[in-house]
Amino acid sequence: MTFWKISAVFATLLYAGFAAPFETIYSYLRARFRDEDGAKRAYFSHVGLVGDLIARVVRFPVTSLRLPSDGPVLRSLLRATTRAQLLLLNLFDPVPGVVVRPETEKFGTWVTPQTSSFATATAATSHVMLYFHGGGFVNNSPDACVPLAKQLIRAFNAKAKITNRSDISLSIFLSQYPLCPESSFSNILDDCFEAYKFLLHRGYKNIMVAGDSAGGNIALNLISILKSEYPDLIQPISAVLFCPWVDPFVSILPKNFPREISRNNDVLSLENSRYMASKVASTISSEIVRYKLSPIDWENSKLASSIPEKGILIVYGGGDILRGGLDFFVDKILHTTSPPSLSDSSHLIIKKRYPYVCHDFQIVYLLLFGVAQHTALKAIRDAAEFMFNTAQA
């Protein structure tokens, strides 16, 4: 197995250093001189050469090397990439004053302002975000979300400073949950519910729920479970979903697929999304639980139960393979008429769609430079503003 891991790393490095830059430059030149409808030129104006390059490199192990997303080789590759990112953050931290504290229990990792202590962080008046990482329920870890969490805290607390609300600050708890197929989808939801109860036991009363990709799926399920099954518990005040995996099997394809941007430029391929979804589905034995896996198929009453009191923000890219399902999902929530209270509550559901950018762009582009990073930071600032508004409402 070590041989295959080394081979995968070597092949990816070769591709990243030689083939991917050539492909990006070639694609850019074609966009400049042979793009009849202007779509490719628009793509590069929003993503840039660096954004296109990194998307190709991220796709390469799955689409070209055919590594299974739940396999040990790709998991090791992602762990190594995450460690490298954290090492760079430690050496060149773009967000001073925000620290990472591993939780002594099994539930996850704290990311907090340096001025916060655990004593103040557990005060009933402070705000905490419970964040679930993505990875199709088969891969990844909370560590991959540390750069995003740091930027969210910086943007949130900067907003508090500008508005003279020093009494409001944010800490983020990155939840650790088991992965499929070693564990089951039901166990994942149970562990995430336990993470929520862990925060309640620590004294938090103002809890936001968030997640990216599969983590967004968890966030929706958790809110629905809390509202329908545990109404006496303190409920989340709001939610932020980055590129949520609401349509795991990609039952609704983007318009003009495959003659559009996401077919060859998104970090998440159609085949890989369906592969991961099938792996997760194989761990489900109950139709009730299977229903939870695809929020796009939820009935109106269950959709209504997934919206927190102060609203939900859904962020995704116009180059995301999931955007067809996400457009449909948001419209479905907005046009829900049962319960009646939702029919006049469109202000509770906010959609932010950023043109041409890929799946999980707020993480993929964050440690880059140029227009791609600018888009990622813009999305993070928009999310922080929504979080701040719900925190002080």
Specify the CATH number for the domain of residue 111: 3.40.50.1820
pLDDT at 182 over 80: yes
Residue 332 host element (H or E): helix 323-334
- For residue 219, pLDDT over 70 is answered with yes
Domain range for 170: 94-392
Residue in the structure block whose two tokens are 């400049």: 32
Give the catalytic positions in this structure: 213
Strand locations in the chain (E): 98-102, 108-113, 127-132, 170-175, 206-212, 238-242, 312-317, 349-354
Q: Output the pTM of the full model.
A: 0.93
Domain membership flag for residue 50: no
Answer yes or no: is pLDDT of 344 > 70.
no
62 within domain boundaries: no
Question: Can you read off the two tokens belonging to residue 24?
Answer: 């990006």
pLDDT at 145: 95
Dist CA 66 CA 343 (whole Å): 46
Angle between helices 270-281 and 39-63 (to 10 degrees): 40
CA distance from start to end of the chain? 53
Q: Is residue 243 part of a domain?
A: yes
In a domain, 249, yes or no: yes
In this structure, is residue 220 part of a structural domain? yes
More confident residue, 123 or 56: 56
Residue 62: enclosing H or E segment and its boundaries?
helix 39-63
- Where in 266-373 does DSSP place strands (E)? 312-317, 349-354
Q: How many domains does the chain have?
A: 1
- As a whole number of angstroms, the longest Cα–Cα distance in the chain is 62
Q: What is the mean pLDDT of residues 194-208?
A: 94
Specify if 213 maps to a domain: yes
Residue 120: predicted pLDDT: 43
Residue 80 lies in a domain: no
Q: Is residue 343 part of a domain?
A: yes
pLDDT reported for residue 338: 43
Express each pLDDT in 95-134 by its tens digit.
777 788 776 666 899 998 876 544 444 455 589 999 999 9
Q: Give the pLDDT of residue 24.
A: 95
Q: Is 59 within 8 Å of 23 (Cβ atoms)?
A: no
**Mean pLDDT highest for which of 13-17, 112-116, 278-282, 346-350?**
278-282
Residue with structure tokens 């539930």? 107
- Model pLDDT, residue 341: 46
